[in-house]
Structure 1
Amino acid sequence: MSKAIKKTIQKAIGGLLLMIPAMSFASIDQVIEEKFQPISHVVTQIVFYSVPIGPMDVPLVLIVLLLGALFFTLYFNFANIRLIKVAVKATKGDYDELDYAFEEGDSIATIKDVAESTGERKTTPVIGEVTHFQALTAALSATVGLGNIAGVAVAIALGGPGAIVWMILAGFLGMSTKLVEATLGVKYREVSPEGHVYGGPMYYLRKGLKEKNMARLGKVLATMYAIFVVGGSFGGGNMFQANQATAQFMSLTGMKSGFIFGIVLAALVGVVIIGGIKRIGKVTERIVPFMGILFVGASLVIIAKNFDMIPDAAIQIWKGAFGNNALLGGFVGVMIVGFQRAAFSNEAGVGSASIAHAAVKTKFPASEGIVASIGPFVDTVVICTMTALVIVITNLKYSLFTYANLEGSNVIMNGTGEHLGGVDLTSAAFDSSIPHFSVVLTIAVILFAFSTMLSWSYYGIQGWSYLFGKGKIADITYKVLFLFVIVVGASSSLNSVVEFSDSMIFAMVFPNIIGLVILAPKVKQEIKRYLTAIKYKVEE
């Protein structure tokens, strides 16, 4: 990034910090909303530019995501399904011994020779800061959360029960995209003298495309991505999470102001992110499995209690996926809704997860790519499916809601005429079978939001470091701004800022997918190296 751009951004940040003492949080809300609304509108219109397909306008970014995922699934011969056993074993650490037998630069021929040799071989230390499992949970913590709890309800509200079929399909396809992203994230990562790892699309776009004689394009795309990921970390990865967690807490406790809760939340996040990815990994490896097991466990209890309803629910879901219900927009409309909610839930193609996966301890980039492919499976195929089944089954049994079409929009209404369609619909479904589960759901929302902020703080600081350097001053500046933004997000609505930042998250798709397609042959080579090492060193 040029010095002129750096100075401009630094002046803007300085101006913002100078304004803070003079404004109340209410006035911050009003001022930022007024200033950002025009910018937010323009950016959103560009990023989510839509083209007509059947009865619906489909965002171009969604088409890019799905076509990319389909291409990778076919190009790698369904590695997302074919290598699932390897993924589970690698996550458990069953293949960690490979890192102490080989070097990262070993060719396939060298791997065979070393594996067949009976002599001892001294190898270099393994680079990385977290285990495969920690990297996976850190990445999952950024996606498993409100998208699963509220996003599924939105999909059912807009597309009916059949939308879940297309969510599942999109989840399977997204596994292939995550495999490519994480493999490249590790392959092209950089390590500081202190041992800190820096990786993600910024690095594989710049370094990978340079190897393809596209150095100028790589630099442009990498800089664009870094700017987008910083903006996205402040908005969708921070403000939105803080705002939703605060809203849930205030709803449960009756608290009138979110300022105090925001301060507490910022303090808790600060304690973790100051320790970097190592501490983030240690926290998320506890939170994500615990909340995942709690949420899926409650879902399984409800499904088991209503086991006799499963066939009816399955029929309703299947018919909804392929039927032609005019109220829900028909077959194409249901398919698009399912694909869209899945893409927004697991973020496959956004590239953000590769930043967390890049910090893994390994000498085989493909090992982490294969582990990363589990992410969309857990996020979309398992957790989203459980949520959908609970909503459909409880509605069949208790008639919790009915569909309606108001002013051209599909909505879900409860018995008293109130609109449902987000976390409120999910809460009503769980409460119908497990009394007062909404309290547990509120805790889940807060913890999921907390873990999401942890991971997105790491994503954002990686982009920030790429733009401004890897020094301590840059590191501290970003973390202070990130914690301040938590308080702002908890204290106000800031609709335009969050909309703007969400747009930046999905703007990351365009430079990322371009790089993934160009560098796909590199990933295929890395997968072959890793599977060869497993075959000759572990399985024989």
Structure 2
Amino acid sequence: MTSISDTLTQVADTLCGYPLFIVLIGGGLFLFLYSGMVSVRRLPDALAALRQNRSGDAPQRGISSAQALLSVVAATVGMGNIAGVAIALAMGGPGAIFWMWISAIVGMSTKYHEGVLAILHRSTRTDGTPVGGPMHIITSGLGRRWRPLAVIFAIAGMFGTLCIINANQLAEALATAASSAGLADDSHALRLSLGILMALIVGSVVIGGIKRIASVATVLVPFMVTTYFIMVAYIVAANIEAVPGVFASIFSEAFSLRAGWGALAGVAIIGARRAALVNDAGVGTASIMHATSANKEPVREGLIAMLGPAIDSGFVCTLTAVALLLAGDFSQSGPQGLSLAIDAFGRAIPFGEYLLTAIVTCFALSSMFTYSFYGSRCAAYLFGERSSRWYTLAFTLSLILFAAVPLSAAVAMCDLFYALMAFPTMLSLILLRKSVRKATLQYFNRDNNYADTTREATA
């Protein structure tokens, strides 16, 4: 059994290393250039599209574009925005943050293509609810002969969206906090109890379907991001004289050649890879959510979709980086992630370790809400709509197991499925890039009333 676990871990580490980096970052850079740097040139249009409130977008059968965006952000703004940034800083230094920013810009163009294609190639359930995702994009956009690729994505999606790491790390963080506060000993029984509590909370939300998930995300995401911003602002205010040096180190270390070109490339890869794994650009899950939007205009959905990486890999990760560079202790040896962040906030803010644990709890739970929907749509594509209910139940119960059991092999399996989601998604985005460009040119070449019209072909 140990040999199987070791083999699985080795395969996952290999596939999720440079191959996944090349596919997500390399493919995203290609789309960025092919689209004419859409994530830079069209950012004002994206912000304007988000502010628009059109009557044609009334979410009678779907959700609004803003709700879709917040639901996607609810999934991506999670443990990675705190633990992932800490890992990037520990491994690559301040310069890694610069490359996280670059990766976010590249990821925005990938998300733009996902959003456009999600509306162009979605389907409608018998009750009128819109559904979609890479499975539908592949079969509708590339043809039925490509269906095996869609099946691979759906199978990988069912398992890759299980919140193995989130459930396990959240249980560990809560158990550690309870132990340090003298409320309970960090034991297997405590983690099992926390897993049951997680399952009850997540189940009460996801059982209500996409509209309840979107409603909760609409409230939870602004609250947790705002609260996190206030905590970071406190740390910045307390160390204001050091802030210019922090940003100077990010830019200077990003291009430092003191250790040679190999070290520079290593820093860039660490930062870019962390950002790619945080914002999910190119993995395909975002298009599952954006396909449920009541919006009938593909390009406007794409513009709104590309704001996701700007929020998570841009804004939230920058908040974490600034706080950790001001208050973090990087002299310790061994793996540094969530524990480094909790320790830094604890030193910088009164009761900061408990406040950050509360924020981490919100981050982790919000990810679970949305990922349960992603997995249920993959199950529905493979086995029919009724199977989505059974998947949701299995997803909820699995949180108890993941919270209490050592998960080295399971985490490796999750990472492996994560990569298997990205490969078909990026391939379909690249192959269908011309249809995205055509839709983009039509959208921006028409008069100002274009966005108010309903295109029957995408209804």
1:393 partnered with 2:329: no
Task: State the alpha-carbon separation in 2 of the partners of residues 36 and 485 from structure 1.
Answer: 22
Task: State the alpha-carbon separation in 1 of the partners of residues 126 and 413 from structure 2.
Answer: 36
Q: Is the 8 A contact 2:164 2:414 kept in 1?
A: no
Equivalent residue for 1:250? 175
Q: Which runs of 5+ in 2 are unaligned?
A: 453-459
Equivalent residue for 2:157? 229
Aligned pair in 2 of structure 1 residues 60, 284: CA closer, same or farther (>3 Å)?
A: same
Q: Which runs of 4+ in 1 moved over 6 A?
A: none
1:82 partnered with 2:41: yes
State the Cα distance separating 1:527 from its structure 2 match: 2.3
1:166-208 deviation line (CA, Å, top 9, x unaligned): 0100011100000001211121111111123321000001110
Q: Is the 8 A contact 2:443 2:450 kept in 1?
A: no
1:424 partnered with 2:339: yes
1:334 partnered with 2:267: yes
Aligned pair in 2 of structure 1 residues 443, 36: CA closer, same or farther (>3 Å)?
A: farther
State the Cα distance separating 1:34 from its structure 2 match: 5.3
Percent of paired sites with the same residue: 34
1:178 partnered with 2:111: yes
1:64 partnered with 2:23: yes
Equivalent residue for 1:9? none
Equivalent residue for 1:482? 395
Match of 2:77 among 130, 138, 144: 144
1:461 partnered with 2:408: no
State the Cα distance separating 1:327 from its structure 2 match: 10
1:513 partnered with 2:426: yes
Q: Is the 8 A contact 1:364 1:526 kept in 2?
A: no
Aligned pair in 2 of structure 1 residues 370, 426: CA closer, same or farther (>3 Å)?
A: same
Amino acid at match of 1:78: M
Structural mapping, 1:19-98, within 5 Å: 37=5, 40-41=8-9, 43-44=11-12, 47-48=15-16, 59-94=18-53, 96-97=54-55
> Which sits farther off after the overlay, 427-436 or 511-520?
427-436
Amino acid at match of 1:231: F
Task: State the alpha-carbon separation in 1 of the partners of residues 445 and 61 from structure 2.
Answer: 22
Equivalent residue for 1:8? none
Task: State the alpha-carbon separation in 1 of the partners of residues 3 and 395 from structure 2.
Answer: 20
Q: Is the 8 A contact 1:184 1:523 kept in 2?
A: yes
Task: State the alpha-carbon separation in 2 of the partners of residues 137 and 225 from structure 1.
Answer: 23
Amino acid at match of 1:454: F
Q: Is the 8 A contact 1:351 1:508 kept in 2?
A: yes
Task: State the alpha-carbon separation in 2 of the partners of residues 533 and 302 from structure 1.
Answer: 48
Q: How many residues align?
A: 444
Equivalent residue for 2:356? 441
Task: State the alpha-carbon separation in 1 of the partners of residues 137 and 39 from structure 2.
Answer: 21
Task: State the alpha-carbon separation in 2 of the partners of residues 173 and 274 from structure 1.
Answer: 35
SS of residue matched to 1:359: coil
SS of residue matched to 1:284: helix
1:424-469 deviation line (CA, Å, top 9, x unaligned): 2112222232121110111111111111111111110111011101
Considering only CA atoms, is the larger Rg found in Structure 1 or Structure 2?
1
Aligned pair in 2 of structure 1 residues 429, 75: CA closer, same or farther (>3 Å)?
A: same
Match of 2:246 among 288, 313, 316: 313
State the Cα distance separating 1:271 from its structure 2 match: 1.2
Amino acid at match of 1:383: V
1:155 partnered with 2:114: no
Aligned pair in 2 of structure 1 residues 156, 43: CA closer, same or farther (>3 Å)?
A: same
Equivalent residue for 1:259? 192
Equivalent residue for 1:295? 228
Amino acid at match of 1:519: L
Amino acid at match of 2:362: L
State the Cα distance separating 1:535 from its structure 2 match: 1.7
State the Cα distance separating 1:532 from its structure 2 match: 4.7
Give the TM-score normalised by structure 1. Answer: 0.78
Q: Which runs of 5+ in 1 are unaligned?
A: 1-32, 51-58, 101-124, 403-412
State the Cα distance separating 1:531 from its structure 2 match: 3.3
1:201-247 deviation line (CA, Å, top 9, x unaligned): 0000111002xxxx31x21110110011011022xxx1211111111
SS of residue matched to 1:91: helix
Task: State the alpha-carbon separation in 2 of the partners of residues 69 and 327 from structure 1.
Answer: 27
Amino acid at match of 1:294: T
